[in-house]
Amino acid sequence: MSGRYAIPLSGLKEGRHTIDFEIGKEFFEQFEESEVKEGSLIANIEMDKRFSHLDFVLRISGSARICCDRCLEMFFQPVNCENRLLVKFGKNIEDIDPDILSVPADEHELDLQQHIYEFILLALPIKRVHPDDNNGNSTCDPEMLKKLEELIVEEENEND
């Protein structure tokens, strides 16, 4: 079963290899619970194959459509990240280090879809709000900002 984001391991010669994956809406549809529903990104994968391991550098750039924490409108958040992943060949499958993946020596391919997805999510900011314009003003939905302003309750200063 060959995945769209799989790297063939059998027949891959030792040395450096590069492959690009386009990431769009169909990529994120594979993750039902994803807060990211669409995007336009490129995952550039550089791999260095050695006898006993593969060393990956994954560079992901583009934008992902996410929900604004402030006004709840969707917007495109720029994504730009670089991550390393070391893949060791062997019989013992261990999950000691999240950056080191062990695969059986007779494995024919390595599907990177889950790793790419996780690297995209990790690249998103914790606070997700529309960026300010050139004048420093919020680009959030003005109607929602007005409603939020109306709901703010001023604290009453009461002394005990």
Question: Any long-range contacts for 85-92 (C-beta under 8 Å, 24+ apart)?
Answer: 85/56, 85/58, 85/115, 86/53, 86/54, 86/55, 86/56, 87/53, 87/54, 87/55, 87/56, 88/52, 88/53, 89/52, 89/53
Q: Indicate the pTM of the whole model.
A: 0.82
* pLDDT tens digits along 90-123: 766 556 666 778 887 777 888 999 999 999 999 9
8 has pLDDT over 90: no
